[in-house]
Amino acid sequence: MADTAAEKQAVAPEMVPRHVAVIMDGNGRWAEQRGLPRSAGHAAGAETFRRIATYCRDLGMDHLTVYAFSTENWKRSSEEVGAIMGLLKKYLLESVEKMERDRIRLKILGDVSPLSPELRELIETTDSIARRLPGCFQANVCLNYGGRDEIVRAVKRYAQNAPVSQLTEEALSAHLDTAGIPDPDLIIRTGGEYRISNFLLWECAYSELLFTDVLWPDFSEKDMDRALAAFRRRDRRYGGVKA
């Protein structure tokens, strides 16, 4: 697939998707292939996220959403979970320092109640900074997130104020973690697996899906260019027929 700088520069702004989501798979395998602990793979994946988020901002996207830690990932070893939470703390601290300078808003999606008080406080701080940056590119990090859990929590929130018998699609969307965020135009899964894994189940109804064998720590700007080139060739009809 063509991915030259000239082609990328020639892409009109309206051809850049507003919202790309990524299932960042392959960190552990990347580390194991190199004889490293799985924590090293997560650290490398965190650096890839920083780089790709900046690249998406520079391309003119509005949102990049990544699947960082699922509701099922608590089943992993305490060492691996601890390493992921340590990386989250590091990233949140860096975001507090750099969000305004880099013009990148950070939003954590998911049920943060099981997280430590320190992490929850940092998330509140980044939320406060993000509110001061309207219109900027937003990086959404799904943490302790599951698509089914999100829908259940949204229904419960709605039911606190109105009867479920009156629930509409629009009302449910307004109570999701992603309220106010456009549905993803494109969902990319790295690492060679071909499934959604409980990610953005409500929001992905008409998302284009792209799967790549590239492990997330190896995912480069050229890989994003290839994914976006493939996206531009898709015929998105949303259930209708083009004249």
Give me the CATH number covering residue 132. 3.40.1180.10
Residue 242 identity: K
Q: What is the pLDDT of residue 2?
A: 44
Across the chain, mean pLDDT equals: 93
Q: Is the confidence at residue 14, as pLDDT, over 80? A: no
Residue 94 included in any domain: yes
Catalytic site residue 73? yes
Closest to 29 (Cα-Cα) out of 42, 16, 19: 42
Q: Is the confidence at residue 7, as pLDDT, over 90? A: no
**Counted domains in the chain:** 1
Residue 167 included in any domain: no
Model confidence pLDDT, tens digit, residues 194-220: 999 999 999 999 999 999 999 999 999
How large is the average pLDDT for residues 63-89? 95
Query: What is the extent of the structural domain holding 53?
Result: 15-146+184-232
How large is the average pLDDT for residues 103-128? 96
Q: For residue 114, give both structure tokens.
A: 């099981």
Sign of the CA dihedral with 40 first, then 149, 204, and 158 last: negative
Residue 63 included in any domain: yes
Could you tell me what percentage of the chain is helix, strand and coil, using 3-state DSSP and rounding each to the nearest 5?
Answer: 50, 15, 35
How large is the average pLDDT for residues 5-32? 80
Helix or strand run (H / E) with residue 138? strand 137-145
Residue 189 included in any domain: yes
Residue 87 included in any domain: yes
Q: Is the confidence at residue 66, as pLDDT, over 70? A: yes
Q: What is the pLDDT of residue 236?
A: 77
- 8 A C-beta contact, residue 158 and residue 172: yes
Strand arrangement, sheet containing 104-109: 104-109, 137-145, 63-70, 19-23, 186-189, 208-211
- 8 A C-beta contact, residue 229 and residue 101: no
- 8 A C-beta contact, residue 27 and residue 218: no
Model confidence pLDDT, tens digit, residues 149-199: 999 999 999 999 999 999 999 999 999 999 999 999 999 999 999 999 999
Q: What is the pLDDT of residue 110?
A: 98
How large is the average pLDDT for residues 76-93? 95
Residue 158 included in any domain: no
Residue 176 included in any domain: no
Q: Distance (Å, rounded) from C-alpha 41 to C-alpha 25? A: 10
Residue 241 included in any domain: no
Q: 3, 62, 73, 218: which one is catalytic?
A: 73
The angle formed by the CA atoms of residues 198, 204 and 205, to the nearest 5 degrees, is 120
